[in-house]
Amino acid sequence: MTDSCAAPGLLPLKQALAQILNALPQPQYYELLPLKKALRRVTYQDVTSNINVPSFRNSSMDGYALRSLDHQKDTLNLIGTSWAGKPYTGKINRGECVRIFTGAYVPDDSDCVVMQENVTRLNESIQINQWPQSKENIRNIADDTSKGQTLLTKGRDLNAADIGLLASCGIADVAVFKQLTVGFFSTGDELIPIGSQANLGQIYDSNRYTLHALLEQSGFTPIDMGVIPDNADAVEAALISASKKCDVIITTGGVSVGEADFITDVLGKIGHINLWKIAIKPGKPFVFGSINNASFFGLPGNPVSVMVSFHNIVLPALKKLMGYSTSQPAITLQAITTETIIKHPGRMEFQRGFAENINGKLTVKPTGSQGSHILSSMAKANCFIVLEQNSSTIDKDQHVTIQLLDTHL
């Protein structure tokens, strides 16, 4: 698909994102963290192993370690035991074997392990009913990782397996980029805190809660900075104060060009600004800029626009600031529509969808009304249905692209 159908004055998402990523500073600072604190943090440099894993030949079975050359013998004398953690280090001569357990050191003279299921145990000897091949049931030195090998490259978002991998190599601490402190405000005179009584014209501020959850689930440190009224002085004071405490500032609301939209003017005065109309739906107006050393993202106020803008613009930007080596676009899948999906050409759409497996096929359907203020259809969604700018209505039983959301299904 090309971007050629973007309505005039609207910037295609891909271009907006490329400009933002390009303008962001490279992260510099790092800290050394114990492994248990390093989940979802990003490696500051390549991590290399100082040891082989396994560091010694060990058994993959409970059984008997022996010499495959002895296969013409009917019975083998049992001369000792190699336990996991308590190796047998003596010799094994012709006609002898050693009891061995999974993970235990394989004595040097033996070249294979017979499973205990293939053995008849006599008193101090064994009769082998099925001889193993040489090397059978032995895990070799370095067959997982070897000394000097790069275990993880710079810019890796550490997951549970990575942490286990480092631990398996005896690595206690890992250098990771500094955590990003992300401050966020809601703007709007209509907003009241949850738990209070709403008067006519007032609404509960939901965006701060959504953003807090989005930041937390993405592994950043959220700092809730409250609500700023629609007043230029208040907006200015709040942003300057936030820029001193945070690496990133996110606001919601006030980025259109109405009389009550102050974000753009204030940012133009105290920082650097790009105001865009991005060719996405929902979420058209978007401000990107900086105040002092903090990067700034001004999202629209409508609750679903906040989520779409976060996933598709803010999150890739935060990942870059956090040191990720690549700003991979979200992984997408192809699913089959079970309903017609209404779409007009002009903007890329992120419709709320529910994807499920039906009779072995990945299917998707919209979750209801797609208005940018309708959070209930967002809450029912487990994916965005991603519709390119120039596409139009999609019939039932067609393939569409979906982007999975991090939700509990």
Q: How far is the CB of 143 from ligand AMP (least distance, A)?
A: 54
Binding site partner of 298, from ligand AMP, Mg ion, none, Cβ cut-off 5-8 A by kind = none
**Of the residues 132, 271, 300, 366, which one makes contact with ligand AMP according to CB under 6 A:** 300
Q: Which residues pair with 336 in a beta bridge?
A: 363, 399
Strand, helix or coil for residue 275? strand
Q: Considering the complex, state which of residue 34 and residue 201 has its C-beta at the smaller distance from ligand AMP.
A: 201
Q: How far is the CB of 348 from ligand AMP (least distance, A)?
A: 20
Please give the Cα distance from 18 to 11 (Å, whole number): 11
The DSSP element (H or E) to which 360 belongs, if any, is none
Interaction residues for Mg ion, span 272-301 (CB under 5 A): 301
Over the window 171 to 200, marking each residue x when it contacts ligand AMP by CB under 6 A and - when it does not, the resulting string is: ---------------x-x-xx---------
Q: What is the DSSP letter of 53?
A: B
Please give the Cα distance from 225 to 215 (Å, whole number): 14
Q: How far is the CB of 266 from ligand AMP (least distance, A)?
A: 14
In angstroms, how far is CA 183 from the centroid of its own chain?
21
Number of neighbouring beta carbons within 10 Å of residue 140? 13
Answer for the pair 9, 277: CB distance below 8 angstroms, yes or no: yes
Could you tell me what percentage of the chain is helix, strand and coil, using 3-state DSSP and rounding each to the nearest 5? Answer: 20, 35, 45
Is 254 a binding residue for ligand AMP by CB under 6 A? The answer is yes
Binding site partner of 283, from Mg ion, ligand AMP, none, Cβ cut-off 5-8 A by kind = none
Is 54 a binding residue for ligand AMP by CB under 6 A? The answer is no
Stretch that binds Mg ion, among 39-47, 181-189, 238-246, 310-318 (CB under 5 A): 181-189
**Of the residues 68, 75, 256, 325, which one makes contact with ligand AMP according to CB under 6 A:** 256
Nearest to 318 by CA among 287, 296, 299, 301: 296
Nearest to 101 by CA among 157, 58, 148, 45: 58
Q: Considering the complex, state which of residue 188 and residue 271 has its C-beta at the smaller distance from Mg ion.
A: 188
**Of the residues 43, 207, 295, 391, which one makes contact with ligand AMP according to CB under 6 A:** 207
Is 271 a binding residue for Mg ion by CB under 5 A? The answer is no
Q: CA of 213: how far to CAs of 86, 206, 220, 370, 407, in Å?
A: 48, 11, 10, 22, 11
Size of the residue set binding ligand AMP (CB under 6 A)? 16
Is 253 a binding residue for Mg ion by CB under 5 A? The answer is yes
Is 303 a binding residue for Mg ion by CB under 5 A? The answer is no
Q: Which residues bind ligand AMP (CB under 6 A)?
A: 186, 188, 190-191, 203, 205-207, 252-254, 256, 300-303
Q: Which residues bind Mg ion (CB under 5 A)?
A: 188, 253-254, 301
